[in-house]
Structure 1
Amino acid sequence: MSEPRTTAAGLKTAHQDLHSEQGALRGEHPGRSRNPVIKAADLAWLEFEKPDLDRAEVFARDFGFSVAARTPDSLWLRGTYPGTACVVIRRGHTSRFIGPAFRAADDADLDRLSRATGAPARERTEFGGGRVVDLLDPSGFPVRVVHGTEQLPALPDQQPLTLNFGAHRTRTNAAQRPPREPARIRRLGHVVLETRVFGRALDWYLDTLGLIVSDFLFLDGRRDQGPTMAFIRCDQGSVPVDHHTLAMHLGPGTGYVHSAYQVTDLDALAAGGDYLAERGYRRSWGIGRHIQGSQLFDYWRDPDRLMLEHFADGDLFSCDLEPGWAPMSASGLAQWGPPVTRDFLGLNPSPAKVREVVRALRADNELDPARLLGLMKAMNA
């Protein structure tokens, strides 16, 4: 395996079997902002609305969350790692994603963000407290940036199994019996969003929150038109972080695609999947291993058809790795696993999807008929 090459800017290209087969060409998007307003430290939580909080709590516990707090109109879910709750579900008329909340590195970042955007920094009065700046991204998603929220203590975790590898044998006179139980969630990993204004939204997250791109995907034969998907991570300098905290792709819709939550290992992921299947929940796609991010994955639908992912063993990148570039295709989503499903790709036809496409092609955005056909071809490749 070759050592990664270093560019004049000091970024490791790592396109020799380490990360991606291709790097950027001259003049392509650099994947980071020269002077971002702040550098968000992490994804804090995701906010949803659902009409039935009791049903939402049953699924949450089956999926592996613990309940951090419950009121008549809100449900706060957490993982085993110390920190904030990672999901908040508010009572609403329909089941929908509201938006993400990012954690600022320090309190001064909130003031800096407030001055740059004109959005006030205010005290939070609900569970967890702290301060918050409420923003709106170019796609229309409310984005919260928080600091000083209550840090919850760690909970008991599922322990990884002791494994024998060939001549390296550490487990003797002991059988392997992973329990059939929920795959206990450790933490929130990432959220994936669809947008009609991909380029504007990408630059907003890079310029405003200091996120940086790990991998770009482009339409095969249309690379000169720029990327149509980005896997984006937080910038914590030399501290390695998840390959992506946020992923976005161009499409006819504007909305939530899925969110991902880390579990202990493959056995926890698989046994937790069997547990969900026994209780009548529907797998969308899995089990497999991704290419971008490398994580083991298993995708499920909740009772309201929102998609959630169990993942384990994902890539960790520091700030000095430059973006990879690869063509977008359905076959390029996994190294191994079952064929990607139409449900996961969102290809099941419906009158609502047809209306969505028509509205997108009539509106002022980055989607045109040629790009739409290119996306359809990629998702069937």
Structure 2
Amino acid sequence: MSGHHDVHSGLHSEHGALAGEHPGRARNPVVKVLDLAWLEFEKADLDKAEAFAHAFGFATALRTPDELRLRGTDPGSPCVLIRRGPRSRFAGPAFRAADSADLIRLAEAMGEQAVPLPESLGGLTVDLADPSRLRVRVVADTHELPASAPQPTRVFNVGHEVLRVNATQRPPRTPALVQRLGHVVVQTTRYRETLDWYLKNLGLIVSDFLYYPGQRERGPVMSFIRCDRGSDPADHHTLALTLGPSNRYVHSAYQVADLDALAAGGEYLRDHGYRRSWGIGRHIQGSQIFDYWRDPDGFMVEHFSDGDMFDCTLEPGWAPMSASGLAQWGPPATKDFLGISPSRESVRELRATLDALREDNEFDLRRLRGLLKVANS
């Protein structure tokens, strides 16, 4: 055998860890968070942000002159909190603790204090900083929004199983209604330290590791990380971390009903002048059907459906990273998605690369060669 690994074989990487490699979980974490609660952003133009949000499939949960809260159709917290700011930036994620007792235990372990959130959100938060200096909130006992009307479900004729007779299938070209927040992806110059911080303090566990081809002995450079809910299945990844030359937001993902909702919603976005980044396709790690878009501020956001759900028993998979290995089917990954198309963002990333190579972090010259090899694969 040649030893060549087919990146398209297996939805969860079929190869596990080698002796001595990262186990993908902490032995005795401080707490085990249940899920993401919401993501927080600052943006200069809330009107423009709200118009895109409605086209993307969010509903407005709250709107004031200085704040916008966006929700999905599922019950729970708003998915996204946007505050007016002088410039657009990602302010950080909020994770949901099981209860206030867990929150207080985490606060004491980290030398912080649990403080009340605004009354309109309810509950408590402890605000932390991960090793990448990203603000991470952990919240408990927040107010719950009731469920709202979901996207109508469809009846499918699958193979020879005929369930729809004398009825047509006409998905309307309307926004793909967001059901819930699924995951967030962030890039860090201190990948290993940041990974261990989330596993130790928040009890997250790794579903899949990726490494640069030819550099497995140096350890992984990306991890897809889920919540540990014991025997209750959780999303394949709630958080994904990737090594890179800067500490930054990469994208966030929001679940929609099915492929029809996702595709028709994409047509609606395109008709209203918004820009697709990459899609439609089906991922390998996580298996979800995806469609990526850019909002007016340049933030990448994803519609997804039919993602993997894992319980606590599944051990991490290991696979080499490649651009062609990002999807089972769909168009090739675009330069925009890979962050190498000419833009202000790519210029900033180039400057960050030069700075990172001069600093003491995990992104060194060999890692840069590995990343360039992936981008051109």
TM range (shorter): over 0.9
**Would you say the 8 A contact 2:37–2:77 is kept in 1?**
yes
Report the counterpart of residue 300 of structure 2 in structure 1. Answer: 307
Report the counterpart of residue 163 of structure 2 in structure 1. Answer: 170
| Residue aligned with 1:340, SS | coil
Count how many residue pairs are aligned between Structure 1 and Structure 2.
366
Report the counterpart of residue 349 of structure 2 in structure 1. Answer: 353
Report the counterpart of residue 5 of structure 2 in structure 1. Answer: none
* CA distance in structure 2 between the aligned counterparts of 1:28 and 1:230, rounded to whole angstroms: 13
Report the counterpart of residue 208 of structure 2 in structure 1. Answer: 215
In the TM superposition, residue 59 of structure 1 has moved relative to its aligned partner by: 0.5
Report the counterpart of residue 223 of structure 2 in structure 1. Answer: 230
Deviations 1:169-198 (A, max 9, x none): 000000110011000000000000011000
Report the counterpart of residue 372 of structure 1 in structure 2. Answer: 368
**Distance verdict in 2 for CA 1:167–1:337, change over 3 Å:** same
Report the counterpart of residue 294 of structure 1 in structure 2. Answer: 287
Report the counterpart of residue 10 of structure 1 in structure 2. Answer: none
| Residue aligned with 2:156, SS | coil
Deviations 1:86-107 (A, max 9, x none): 1000000111111000000011
* CA distance in structure 2 between the aligned counterparts of 1:123 and 1:231, rounded to whole angstroms: 31
1:149 paired with 2:142, answer: yes
Percent identity between the two aligned chains: 65
* CA distance in structure 2 between the aligned counterparts of 1:166 and 1:348, rounded to whole angstroms: 41
Alignment of 1:1-381 (within 5 A): 17=10, 19-349=12-342, 350-381=346-377
* CA distance in structure 2 between the aligned counterparts of 1:166 and 1:228, rounded to whole angstroms: 41
* CA distance in structure 1 between the aligned counterparts of 2:376 and 2:90, rounded to whole angstroms: 27
* CA distance in structure 2 between the aligned counterparts of 1:287 and 1:348, rounded to whole angstroms: 19
Deviations 1:111-166 (A, max 9, x none): 10111001100111252110000000000100000001000000000123111012
**Would you say the 8 A contact 2:186–2:247 is kept in 1?**
yes
**Distance verdict in 2 for CA 1:329–1:357, change over 3 Å:** same
In the TM superposition, residue 40 of structure 1 has moved relative to its aligned partner by: 0.4
**Would you say the 8 A contact 2:281–2:329 is kept in 1?**
yes
Report the counterpart of residue 13 of structure 1 in structure 2. Answer: none
**Partner AA of 1:314 in structure 2:** G
Deviations 1:212-233 (A, max 9, x none): 0000000111101000000000
**Partner AA of 2:126 in structure 1:** V
**Partner AA of 2:291 in structure 1:** D
* CA distance in structure 1 between the aligned counterparts of 2:236 and 2:141, rounded to whole angstroms: 25
In the TM superposition, residue 18 of structure 1 has moved relative to its aligned partner by: 6.4
Structure 2: give runs of 5+ residues left out of the alignment.
Answer: 1-8
**Partner AA of 1:155 in structure 2:** S
In the TM superposition, residue 17 of structure 1 has moved relative to its aligned partner by: 4.8
**Would you say the 8 A contact 2:11–2:284 is kept in 1?**
no
Deviations 1:217-252 (A, max 9, x none): 001111010000000000000000100000010001
* CA distance in structure 2 between the aligned counterparts of 1:63 and 1:139, rounded to whole angstroms: 30
| Residue aligned with 1:288, SS | strand
Report the counterpart of residue 8 of structure 1 in structure 2. Answer: none
TM-score by length of 1: 0.95
| Residue aligned with 1:22, SS | coil
Deviations 1:241-268 (A, max 9, x none): 1000000100011100000000000000
* CA distance in structure 2 between the aligned counterparts of 1:280 and 1:104, rounded to whole angstroms: 39
Deviations 1:275-300 (A, max 9, x none): 00000000000000000000000000
